[in-house]
Amino acid sequence: MSAAVKIPMPLRVPELAPSLGRVLVPRRVAEPWVPLDDIREALATRALELGGEARAAALREDRERVLEAVSRRAWFAAWEQAVRRVADRVTEALDGRIERTARRGRMPRRGWRRRLLSTPEKRAIAARLASGGEPFIAALDALDAVAARVRDATVLDKTAHGEWQEALRSAARRLEAAWLALEAVAAEEERRWAPEIEAVERWRPPLWPVLVLWAPLGALLVWLGLVLGGYVAAPAWLAARLGF
Protein backbone atom coordinates (compact mmCIF):
# COMPACT_ATOMS: atom_id res chain seq x y z
CA MET A 1 0.00 0.00 0.00
CA SER A 2 2.87 2.38 0.78
CA ALA A 3 4.26 1.87 -2.73
CA ALA A 4 0.86 2.70 -4.25
CA VAL A 5 0.68 5.92 -2.31
CA LYS A 6 3.82 7.15 -4.04
CA ILE A 7 2.48 6.57 -7.54
CA PRO A 8 1.70 9.97 -9.10
CA MET A 9 -1.88 10.58 -10.12
CA PRO A 10 -2.17 10.55 -13.95
CA LEU A 11 -3.50 13.92 -15.04
CA ARG A 12 -6.48 13.91 -17.40
CA VAL A 13 -7.37 17.22 -19.03
CA PRO A 14 -11.13 17.68 -19.43
CA GLU A 15 -12.72 18.87 -22.65
CA LEU A 16 -12.97 22.65 -22.41
CA ALA A 17 -15.05 23.48 -25.48
CA PRO A 18 -18.46 23.00 -23.79
CA SER A 19 -17.43 25.34 -20.97
CA LEU A 20 -16.29 28.08 -23.36
CA GLY A 21 -19.87 28.55 -24.57
CA ARG A 22 -20.37 31.82 -26.41
CA VAL A 23 -16.67 32.44 -26.78
CA LEU A 24 -16.89 29.62 -29.33
CA VAL A 25 -20.42 30.15 -30.65
CA PRO A 26 -21.76 33.69 -30.17
CA ARG A 27 -25.48 34.31 -29.82
CA ARG A 28 -26.30 37.95 -30.43
CA VAL A 29 -29.33 39.99 -31.37
CA ALA A 30 -27.16 42.48 -33.27
CA GLU A 31 -23.55 42.65 -34.37
CA PRO A 32 -21.22 44.82 -32.26
CA TRP A 33 -20.55 48.35 -33.54
CA VAL A 34 -16.87 47.50 -33.88
CA PRO A 35 -15.87 44.08 -35.31
CA LEU A 36 -14.67 41.74 -32.55
CA ASP A 37 -15.34 38.26 -33.89
CA ASP A 38 -11.79 37.69 -35.10
CA ILE A 39 -10.47 38.54 -31.62
CA ARG A 40 -13.09 36.30 -29.99
CA GLU A 41 -12.16 33.45 -32.32
CA ALA A 42 -8.47 33.92 -31.60
CA LEU A 43 -9.18 33.78 -27.86
CA ALA A 44 -11.27 30.62 -28.22
CA THR A 45 -8.62 29.05 -30.42
CA ARG A 46 -5.91 29.82 -27.90
CA ALA A 47 -7.96 28.32 -25.06
CA LEU A 48 -8.49 25.12 -27.05
CA GLU A 49 -4.81 25.06 -27.98
CA LEU A 50 -3.84 25.22 -24.31
CA GLY A 51 -6.08 22.25 -23.60
CA GLY A 52 -4.62 20.38 -26.56
CA GLU A 53 -1.06 21.06 -25.42
CA ALA A 54 -1.93 19.83 -21.94
CA ARG A 55 -3.51 16.62 -23.27
CA ALA A 56 -0.48 15.93 -25.46
CA ALA A 57 1.78 16.37 -22.45
CA ALA A 58 -0.48 14.08 -20.42
CA LEU A 59 0.03 11.32 -22.98
CA ARG A 60 3.78 11.73 -22.49
CA GLU A 61 3.18 11.70 -18.71
CA ASP A 62 4.89 15.10 -18.51
CA ARG A 63 3.09 16.41 -15.45
CA GLU A 64 4.92 19.72 -15.28
CA ARG A 65 4.15 20.49 -18.91
CA VAL A 66 0.48 19.58 -18.37
CA LEU A 67 0.18 22.00 -15.48
CA GLU A 68 2.13 24.71 -17.29
CA ALA A 69 0.04 24.47 -20.48
CA VAL A 70 -3.19 25.21 -18.60
CA SER A 71 -1.67 27.32 -15.85
CA ARG A 72 -2.86 30.67 -14.58
CA ARG A 73 -0.04 32.35 -16.50
CA ALA A 74 -1.07 30.78 -19.84
CA TRP A 75 -4.78 31.56 -19.43
CA PHE A 76 -4.13 35.11 -18.27
CA ALA A 77 -1.75 35.81 -21.17
CA ALA A 78 -4.48 34.80 -23.66
CA TRP A 79 -7.06 37.01 -21.93
CA GLU A 80 -4.70 39.97 -21.62
CA GLN A 81 -3.86 39.84 -25.32
CA ALA A 82 -7.56 39.77 -26.23
CA VAL A 83 -8.30 42.77 -23.99
CA ARG A 84 -5.40 44.71 -25.49
CA ARG A 85 -6.55 44.00 -29.04
CA VAL A 86 -10.13 45.01 -28.27
CA ALA A 87 -8.95 48.21 -26.57
CA ASP A 88 -6.83 49.11 -29.61
CA ARG A 89 -9.72 48.43 -31.96
CA VAL A 90 -12.24 50.43 -29.93
CA THR A 91 -9.95 53.46 -29.61
CA GLU A 92 -9.06 53.32 -33.31
CA ALA A 93 -12.76 53.14 -34.21
CA LEU A 94 -13.59 56.12 -32.00
CA ASP A 95 -10.72 58.17 -33.40
CA GLY A 96 -11.84 57.22 -36.90
CA ARG A 97 -15.39 58.41 -36.24
CA ILE A 98 -14.15 61.71 -34.83
CA GLU A 99 -11.90 62.30 -37.83
CA ARG A 100 -14.52 61.37 -40.43
CA THR A 101 -17.19 63.51 -38.75
CA ALA A 102 -14.81 66.46 -38.51
CA ARG A 103 -13.77 66.19 -42.15
CA ARG A 104 -17.39 66.14 -43.28
CA GLY A 105 -17.95 69.36 -41.36
CA ARG A 106 -14.72 70.87 -42.74
CA MET A 107 -13.25 71.28 -39.27
CA PRO A 108 -9.61 72.38 -39.45
CA ARG A 109 -7.10 69.60 -38.93
CA ARG A 110 -5.71 71.23 -35.80
CA GLY A 111 -9.19 71.35 -34.30
CA TRP A 112 -10.18 67.73 -34.78
CA ARG A 113 -6.78 66.35 -33.87
CA ARG A 114 -7.17 67.93 -30.43
CA ARG A 115 -10.39 65.93 -30.01
CA LEU A 116 -8.78 62.54 -30.65
CA LEU A 117 -8.44 60.25 -27.66
CA SER A 118 -5.53 61.04 -25.39
CA THR A 119 -3.23 58.40 -23.94
CA PRO A 120 -4.90 58.54 -20.49
CA GLU A 121 -8.33 58.16 -22.15
CA LYS A 122 -7.11 55.12 -24.07
CA ARG A 123 -5.76 53.60 -20.87
CA ALA A 124 -9.08 54.24 -19.14
CA ILE A 125 -10.92 52.42 -21.94
CA ALA A 126 -8.56 49.45 -21.64
CA ALA A 127 -9.10 49.38 -17.87
CA ARG A 128 -12.88 49.41 -18.27
CA LEU A 129 -12.71 46.61 -20.83
CA ALA A 130 -10.57 44.51 -18.50
CA SER A 131 -12.80 45.13 -15.46
CA GLY A 132 -15.26 42.43 -16.49
CA GLY A 133 -12.51 39.85 -16.16
CA GLU A 134 -12.31 40.00 -12.34
CA PRO A 135 -14.32 36.77 -11.80
CA PHE A 136 -12.11 35.11 -14.42
CA ILE A 137 -8.97 36.24 -12.57
CA ALA A 138 -10.45 34.86 -9.34
CA ALA A 139 -11.06 31.54 -11.10
CA LEU A 140 -7.44 31.53 -12.26
CA ASP A 141 -6.27 32.13 -8.71
CA ALA A 142 -8.33 29.14 -7.60
CA LEU A 143 -6.87 27.07 -10.45
CA ASP A 144 -3.38 28.03 -9.37
CA ALA A 145 -4.05 26.93 -5.81
CA VAL A 146 -5.49 23.57 -6.91
CA ALA A 147 -2.63 23.01 -9.37
CA ALA A 148 -0.16 23.32 -6.49
CA ARG A 149 -1.96 20.49 -4.69
CA VAL A 150 -2.40 18.24 -7.70
CA ARG A 151 1.26 18.57 -8.70
CA ASP A 152 2.27 16.09 -6.01
CA ALA A 153 -1.01 14.15 -5.93
CA THR A 154 -0.83 10.38 -5.90
CA VAL A 155 -3.27 7.82 -7.22
CA LEU A 156 -5.02 7.96 -3.86
CA ASP A 157 -5.64 11.72 -4.13
CA LYS A 158 -8.61 11.49 -6.44
CA THR A 159 -10.27 14.46 -4.78
CA ALA A 160 -7.41 16.79 -5.70
CA HIS A 161 -7.49 15.59 -9.30
CA GLY A 162 -11.23 16.13 -9.54
CA GLU A 163 -10.91 19.61 -8.06
CA TRP A 164 -8.24 20.46 -10.60
CA GLN A 165 -10.43 19.32 -13.49
CA GLU A 166 -13.36 21.31 -12.16
CA ALA A 167 -11.11 24.36 -11.70
CA LEU A 168 -10.19 24.13 -15.39
CA ARG A 169 -13.84 23.96 -16.42
CA SER A 170 -14.62 26.86 -14.10
CA ALA A 171 -11.84 28.94 -15.66
CA ALA A 172 -13.29 28.28 -19.11
CA ARG A 173 -16.80 29.25 -17.94
CA ARG A 174 -15.46 32.43 -16.33
CA LEU A 175 -13.62 33.21 -19.54
CA GLU A 176 -16.95 33.10 -21.37
CA ALA A 177 -18.46 35.47 -18.79
CA ALA A 178 -15.45 37.78 -19.01
CA TRP A 179 -15.72 37.98 -22.79
CA LEU A 180 -19.44 38.77 -22.65
CA ALA A 181 -18.72 41.51 -20.11
CA LEU A 182 -16.00 42.86 -22.37
CA GLU A 183 -18.43 43.02 -25.31
CA ALA A 184 -20.93 44.88 -23.11
CA VAL A 185 -18.28 47.42 -22.08
CA ALA A 186 -17.24 47.87 -25.72
CA ALA A 187 -20.87 48.65 -26.59
CA GLU A 188 -21.05 51.10 -23.70
CA GLU A 189 -17.95 52.91 -24.97
CA GLU A 190 -19.83 53.81 -28.15
CA ARG A 191 -22.58 55.40 -26.03
CA ARG A 192 -20.06 57.04 -23.73
CA TRP A 193 -18.34 58.84 -26.62
CA ALA A 194 -21.48 59.66 -28.59
CA PRO A 195 -21.79 63.19 -27.08
CA GLU A 196 -18.22 63.99 -28.09
CA ILE A 197 -18.83 62.87 -31.66
CA GLU A 198 -22.14 64.74 -31.77
CA ALA A 199 -20.32 67.89 -30.63
CA VAL A 200 -17.92 67.49 -33.55
CA GLU A 201 -20.90 67.01 -35.88
CA ARG A 202 -22.53 70.22 -34.63
CA TRP A 203 -19.37 72.26 -35.14
CA ARG A 204 -19.63 75.11 -37.64
CA PRO A 205 -16.95 77.51 -38.85
CA PRO A 206 -16.88 80.75 -36.81
CA LEU A 207 -18.40 83.85 -38.44
CA TRP A 208 -15.96 86.46 -37.16
CA PRO A 209 -13.44 85.96 -40.02
CA VAL A 210 -16.25 86.67 -42.48
CA LEU A 211 -17.24 89.81 -40.61
CA VAL A 212 -13.67 91.04 -40.23
CA LEU A 213 -12.71 90.44 -43.85
CA TRP A 214 -15.89 91.03 -45.80
CA ALA A 215 -17.78 93.70 -43.86
CA PRO A 216 -15.28 96.50 -44.69
CA LEU A 217 -15.13 95.37 -48.31
CA GLY A 218 -18.90 95.28 -48.52
CA ALA A 219 -19.18 98.77 -47.02
CA LEU A 220 -16.61 100.04 -49.52
CA LEU A 221 -18.52 98.56 -52.46
CA VAL A 222 -21.81 100.08 -51.23
CA TRP A 223 -20.16 103.51 -50.85
CA LEU A 224 -18.61 103.26 -54.32
CA GLY A 225 -22.00 102.36 -55.75
CA LEU A 226 -23.57 105.42 -54.16
CA VAL A 227 -20.80 107.62 -55.53
CA LEU A 228 -21.19 106.27 -59.03
CA GLY A 229 -24.94 106.68 -58.77
CA GLY A 230 -24.58 110.29 -57.82
CA TYR A 231 -26.12 109.86 -54.42
CA VAL A 232 -22.93 110.71 -52.57
CA ALA A 233 -20.37 113.34 -53.52
CA ALA A 234 -17.12 111.82 -54.65
CA PRO A 235 -13.86 112.94 -53.02
CA ALA A 236 -11.71 115.17 -55.20
CA TRP A 237 -9.13 112.49 -55.89
CA LEU A 238 -11.83 110.01 -56.98
CA ALA A 239 -13.74 112.63 -59.00
CA ALA A 240 -10.55 113.48 -60.87
CA ARG A 241 -9.92 109.86 -61.71
CA LEU A 242 -13.52 109.21 -62.75
CA GLY A 243 -13.79 112.46 -64.75
CA PHE A 244 -16.63 113.91 -62.70
Taking only the tens place, the pLDDT of each residue in 69-85 is 999 999 999 999 999 99
- In three-state secondary structure terms, 8 is strand
Residue 169 pLDDT:
96
> How far is residue 83's CA from residue 88's CA, in Å, rounded to a whole number?
9
In this structure, the number of other CB atoms found within 10 A of the CB of residue 153 comes to: 20
Model-wide pTM > 0.85: no
Top-confidence range, 5-14, 104-113, 119-128, 158-167: 119-128
DSSP 123: H
Q: Which of 15-19, 98-102, 109-113 has the lowest mean pLDDT?
A: 109-113
Residue type, 169: R
Residues 6+ apart with CB under 8 A from 14: 165, 168, 169
Residue type, 96: G
**pLDDT for the residue numbered 107:** 84
- Average pLDDT over the chain, rounded to an integer: 86
Residue 86 clears pLDDT 80, i.e. is over it = yes
Q: Is 178 exposed, middle or buried (0-12, 13-18, 19+ CB in 10 A)?
A: buried
Cα separation, 164 vs 158, in Å, equals: 10
